[in-house]
């Protein structure tokens, strides 16, 4: 697919999974899209599962952005605590676009936690609270981060 076509799909607001081996233009396309969003006064959140991956894309770790610490899964008790944290609530309630890089390293539990938090903060049953999700990565490259 041409990058211009992919950029058009991103601009449509749909959830997108960008994949391809190293050097295929995933990061270039994400940079184009974030520039497009910033021109429209939309600040996307750019996250990755590790600090090194996050620093390469100018983002933060998923665990830091969602204030989940070292947890993989969150329970209702912790979700209630997050809902009461003003800084978390303000950051996530305004979120419109979430870009997750190195998605192959994200465990199912962390995905479930992000979804649960965004649904609660946005007061909706829509997946990820209705936030546009952009996933980027290569599943032939890196496995999920494991606690073992």
Report the mean per-residue pLDDT for the chain: 90
* pLDDT tens-digit series, residues 105-119: 999 999 999 999 999
pLDDT band, residue 56 (cuts 50/70/90) = confident
What is the pLDDT averaged over residues 41-64? 93
Look up the CATH architecture of domain 14-137: 3-Layer(aba) Sandwich (3.40)
Q: Whose structure tokens read 């909706």?
A: 124
Query: 139: helix, coil or strand?
Result: coil
pLDDT band, residue 73 (cuts 50/70/90) = confident
* pLDDT tens-digit series, residues 117-134: 999 999 999 999 999 999
């Amino acid at each position: 697919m041409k990058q211009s076509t992919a950029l058009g799909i991103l601009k449509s607001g749909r959830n997108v999974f960008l994949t391809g081996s190293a050097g295929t233009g995933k990061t270039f396309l994400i940079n184009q899209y974030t520039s497009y969003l910033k021109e429209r006064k939309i600040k996307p959140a750019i996250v990755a599962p590790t600090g090194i991956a996050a620093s390469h894309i100018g983002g933060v770790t998923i665990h830091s952005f969602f204030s989940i610490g070292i947890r993989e899964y969150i329970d209702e008790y912790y979700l209630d605590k997050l809902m009461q944290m003003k800084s978390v609530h303000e950051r996530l309630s305004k979120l419109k676009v979430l870009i997750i890089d190195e998605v192959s390293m994200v465990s199912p539990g962390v995905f479930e936690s992000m979804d649960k938090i965004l649904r609660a903060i946005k007061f909706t049953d829509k997946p990820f609270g209705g936030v546009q999700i952009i996933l980027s990565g290569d599943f032939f490259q890196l496995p999920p981060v494991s606690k073992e």
